[in-house]
Amino acid sequence: MSQQTDTPQGGGAPEATPQTMQLGAARGGFLSQLRVTLARRTEGRGLALLTVVVIAAAILEPVVFTSYQVTLGRVALIGLVALGLTAVILMGELDLSVASTLAVSGVVMASIPDIWLGVLAALATGLIIGAINAFFVVVVGINSFIATLGMLFALRGLAFVLSDEEPVRLSNIDAGIAFGTPLLGPLTPRVLLFIAAFIALQIFLSRVKAGREFYAVGGNRQAAMDAGIPVRRRIFTGFMISGFVAALAGVINTLERTAADPTAGSTVLLASFAAAIIGGVLLNGGRGSVLGTLIGALALGILQVSLTLSGVQVDIQDIFIGVILLLAVITDPANLRAALAGVRSSFRSREKAQTPV
């Protein structure tokens, strides 16, 4: 007598068992969780730009990847200022004064004979500037764009006044020369300080309660206030972080150049702002990451060094960065959804208008 099997005849699918059902549910759950995680991440545009820039640089200007100190130094300068901007933009605010903060902090430092006292004075200057910006925004009620734009011009004028419109040399030039010496392979103190600032801000925004509240303030300010979050204090903290980091960039720039230039930072604002936006930080606040800002700084730093080595003038480089920034804003998922919704509503209104009554 032949044994019957459980396999259905005619090539049908095998009967589902509890084990296969659990496996299918686990796979579906993993894919669903993966889609949710990818949807939350905001670094896609930055990664795409970084990939394109690296490939183009490897083909056209491969010396970019052998000139470690130049490339890493540029990335660190853009990235430092962009990190401070990230803290402010996450709350839906802007700080346009970072470039002038960099310049005036460097002049303050170089004007003091004692180098360590000068460093402390420069960093304190950045904190004070950040507090003043926050005061105008939070207490006076001025829009952050207008308030920091005014500070941009006021601080630039102050830098020229303090320096008598000429570079101020460090009293201890040897310290500046030593500061530019690599400490760990090709890594100079500038790069190491940038890495330290990146780690510190990442921990603050992801692990510290006050840092996580930045996202709540930017996402829905009224809801954050209703939840008991000290919104005004968080805005003060964000602007002071931005001012401090910009002043740190000014100190580093002054040490490496052994002189403070009142025009320093004039090309940093656009690149740093673009690095944060390209990295996925939403202009309206509430979304973004420090990792995305790092990716954006890497992409734009490599791009600027490549263009410089190719003989492209700074003004033309700004055109490139401006176009990239514009594309980043246009291709933001929220903006794309809003544009599609507008197009759909326009088509529907036309259809209703053409429909005979």
Residue 293: give its domain's CATH number.
1.10.3470.10
pLDDT at 257: 87
**Sequence-separated (6 or more) residues with CB below 8 Å from residue 153:** 100
The span from the CA of 153 to the CA of 156, in Å, is 5
3-state secondary structure of 32: helix
Assess whether pLDDT exceeds 90 at residue 217.
Answer: yes
Structural tokens at position 202: 């990442």
Q: Is residue 225 part of a domain?
A: yes
Give pTM, 2 decimals.
0.81
Give the Cα-Cα-Cα angle 4, 5, 8 (nearest 5 degrees).
115
Q: Is residue 93 part of a domain?
A: yes
Q: Is residue 276 part of a domain?
A: yes
CB atoms within 10 A of CB 313: 10
Q: Which of 220, 230, 206, 173 is nearest to 292 (CA)?
A: 206
Q: Is residue 315 part of a domain?
A: yes
Alpha helices of 61-97 — where are they, by DSSP H?
68-89
What's the number of domains the chain is made of? 1
Contact 275, 258 (CB under 8 A): no
Give the model confidence (pLDDT) of 100-146 as tens digits.
Answer: 999 999 999 999 988 999 999 999 999 999 999 999 999 999 999 99
Q: Is residue 253 part of a domain?
A: yes
Contact 109, 248 (CB under 8 A): no
Q: Is residue 10 part of a domain?
A: no
DSSP label of 237: H
- For 61-68, the CB contacts below 8 A with 24+ separation are 61/306, 61/309, 61/310, 63/309, 64/302, 64/305, 64/306, 64/309, 67/305, 67/309, 68/185, 68/186
Q: In terms of residue numbers, what domain contains 236?
A: 44-167+184-329
Q: Is residue 52 part of a domain?
A: yes
Give the model confidence (pLDDT) of 299-322 as tens digits.
Answer: 999 998 898 888 888 888 888 888
Q: Is residue 337 part of a domain?
A: no
Share of the chain above pLDDT 70, in %: 81
The span from the CA of 58 to the CA of 52, in Å, is 10
Helices 144-163 & 98-111 angle (0-180, nearest 10): 30
Q: Which of 64, 68, 87 is nearest to 76 (CA)?
A: 68
